[in-house]
Every structure is written in C-alpha cells, then in structure tokens.
C-alpha cells in the first residue's frame, strides 16, 4: 500500500501543478479502488468545467459561423488528441489495479489545460487581433 501512495504521489505531481497536488482530493482514499473512484470523480469535475467554458466560447462565436466551425473542429481534434495522448503516455501502466487512476490523472491534467486555454482565449486584451474569441 505504501508503494502505491509513493507512486501515486510522484505520478500525480508529474501531471498536475504543485498547488493541486498539495490539496489532493484523494488523499484519504483507503484502497486502490477508492483512489480510482476518487480520480474518476476529479476527472468528471474537470470535464464538466471544460464543457461549461466550451459552451461559453461557442456562445461568443454564435454570430461568426466560420470561426464557430473552426472552434468545433479544433475541439473535436483536441478530444482525439487528448485520448490518444493519454493512451500513449499511460500505456506502460498496463491493466493493473492502478491503471484507471493513471489514466484519469492524465485525462484530468489535459482537460484542465484545455479549459484554461479556452478561458484565456476569452480574456484577450481589447483590440488583440490574434484573439480567436472576442471579449464580451
């Protein structure tokens, strides 16, 4: 069990920023199954946040059909990338009891990064012509 926690801590810090790792929501999980379930819930929250920000971005582009189509295309491509990247980067973990945790950690990390990226697109300074999503 102690090896699991050491591995989990090192892996978690690799995929997450230090501040998130310090406030590990799964620190009190008592078994690998509990850790897996907790990490799944953490990923679901990250995915919900991404969907909220994506809908906001999409809404801002509702009057610009061409740019909206590009956002949809980019998001679809990003989802494929995220899934392929996590399959690749966690592939050596095999199918053991910790593999779900490792996969959820990767999915969460990339999802949080995409959420931040979309959010940042919506915060561009006034007049920034390189900004893909206009400020409200």
Domain presence at residue 92: yes
pTM tops 0.85? no
Domain presence at residue 25: no
Residue with the bigger pLDDT between 111 and 21: it is 111
- Could you give the C-alpha distances from 110 to 43, 113, 115, in angstroms and in order? 10, 5, 9
**Overall number of domains in the chain:** 1
Domain presence at residue 133: no
Specify the pLDDT at position 3: 45
Domain presence at residue 126: no
Quick one: angle between helices 99-121 and 65-89, nearest 10?
A: 150
CATH number for 13? 1.20.1270.180
Ranking 34-38, 90-94, 104-108, 125-129 by mean pLDDT, the lowest is 90-94
Structural domain containing residue 63: 2-17+33-121
Which residues in the chain belong to E strands, given as ranges? none
Residue 136 pLDDT class (50, 70, 90 cuts)? confident
Residue 51 has pLDDT above 70, yes or no: yes
Q: How far apart are CA 12 and CA 27, in angstroms?
A: 11
Specify the pLDDT at position 116: 98
Domain presence at residue 127: no
Specify the pLDDT at position 36: 83
Q: Of 109, 106, 118, 98, nearest to 8 (Cα)?
A: 98
Domain presence at residue 104: yes
Tokens of 20: 């998130």
């Amino acid at each position: 069990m102690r090896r699991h926690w050491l591995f989990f801590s090192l892996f978690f810090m690799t995929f997450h920023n230090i501040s998130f790792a310090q406030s590990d929501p799964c620190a009190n999980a008592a078994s690998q199954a509990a850790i897996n379930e907790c990490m799944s819930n953490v990923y679901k929250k990250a995915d919900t946040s991404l969907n909220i920000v994506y809908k906001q971005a999409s809404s801002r582009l509702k009057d610009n059909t061409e740019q909206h189509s590009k956002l949809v295309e980019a998001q679809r491509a990003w989802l494929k990338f995220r899934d392929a990247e996590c399959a690749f980067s966690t592939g050596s973990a095999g199918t053991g009891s910790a593999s779900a945790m490792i996969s959820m950690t990767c999915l969460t990390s990339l999802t949080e990064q995409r959420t931040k990226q979309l959010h940042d697109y919506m915060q561009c300074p006034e007049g920034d012509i390189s900004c893909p999503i206009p400020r409200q």
